Amino acid sequence: MYNSGTRFGPSGTIVSPNFPVQYDNGAQCVWTIQAVQPGKVSGWGRQMTVIQINFEEFDLERGFDTLTVGDGPNVGDPGSILHVLTGTSTPDLVVSISEQMWLHLQTDESTGSLGFKIIYKEISSESCGDPGVPSHGRRIGRNFSHGASLTFECQDAFELSGDQSITCQKSSQWSANVPQCTCEFVFMLLSCACFVVLAKWSRVFKFSFPSGVKKKRYIDTLYLSCLMTHAMELYI
Ligand SMILES: [Ca+2]
């Protein structure tokens, strides 16, 4: 296994090989991140510092190339795995429980992708870290420690998608990602309105339609599929 090295706090960046160009096939890369700052002294003694990572970019071939994120010094130990990530979906952030975190990139023999850019930093232990605020929304609560909850609200006309409330679990991971504030309804109106315009234009400019298909039926079918697509988006 290729050891890509130990990184030390208080903060830094880790990128996949060749980033921002496609990573290699058959790669096995390991990074360990070690917190170095002494923790704060509280009423219960000195707190540890732990490692938080955020994903600025993340794109691995879905299902075949993976980044495993684990806690502690024992790279690959199944009991210490926090996440196995592939594709483009990641948590907002991952926080270690101990002073160390390890990352293991494994890629198969074909098809690469962009890879990843990860920002790491040290934070106080028994915290899930600052998960951020959704655009077009606001956060109620500013406590990120174990057991604390955050609630989110969206601006008028925006719809909240995801969990309205998230909790910092004992594992130092948030119970879910920060929700998104989306403008689906307005998007649907605009998109479908555009389609009506397109349909009108097609009459004005006499767009050609596939032979054997009646023009009106063609427009009706497209319009219906537009509506159904957006109805499904709303439903999901
Ligand atoms: Ca691959």
The 10s digit of each residue's pLDDT in 109-126 is 999 999 999 999 999 999
Mean pLDDT throughout 204-209? 49
Q: How far is the CA of 45 from the centre of ligand 1 (A)?
A: 47
Instruction: Quickly name the fold that domain 137-182 has.
Output: Complement Module; domain 1 (2.10.70)
Whole-angstrom CA distances from 147 to 34, 94, 126, 169, 174 are 25, 16, 9, 6, 10
Q: How far is the CA of 218 from the centre of ligand 1 (A)?
A: 41
Say if residues 122 and 51 touch (Cβ distance below 8 Å).
yes
Q: How far is the CA of 180 from the centre of ligand 1 (A)?
A: 30
C-alpha span between 59 and 115 (Å, rounded):
5
Phi/psi of residue 198, nearest 5 degrees: -60, -40
Q: How far is the CA of 77 from the centre of ligand 1 (A)?
A: 23
Q: For residue 128, give the nearest of 77, 180, 177 by alpha carbon.
A: 177
Q: How far is the CA of 212 from the centre of ligand 1 (A)?
A: 44
Q: How far is the CA of 27 from the centre of ligand 1 (A)?
A: 9
Q: How far is the CA of 113 from the centre of ligand 1 (A)?
A: 7
Entry pTM: 0.74
Say if residues 174 and 161 touch (Cβ distance below 8 Å).
no
Q: How far is the CA of 86 from the centre of ligand 1 (A)?
A: 10
pLDDT at 198 over 80: no
Under the banding of pLDDT at 50, 70 and 90, the label for residue 68 is: very high
Mean pLDDT throughout 178-205? 65
Angle formed by the axes of helices 215-235 and 184-204, nearest 10°: 170
pLDDT of res. 232? 66
pLDDT at 201 over 70: no
Residues whose CB falls within 8 Å of the CB of residue 49, separated by 6 or more in sequence, listed in order = 9, 35, 36, 37, 38, 39, 99, 122, 123, 124, 125
Q: How far is the CA of 177 from the centre of ligand 1 (A)?
A: 26
The 10s digit of each residue's pLDDT in 9-32 is 899 999 999 999 999 999 999 999
Partner residues linked to 25 by β-bridges: none
Q: How far is the CA of 66 from the centre of ligand 1 (A)?
A: 9
Say if residues 46 and 40 touch (Cβ distance below 8 Å).
yes
Q: For residue 28, give the nearest of 15, 13, 16, 12 by alpha carbon.
A: 16
Q: Domain segments of the chain: what residues?
A: 2-124, 137-182, 184-235
Class of domain 2-124: mainly beta
Least confident of 3-7, 32-36, 93-97, 148-152: 3-7
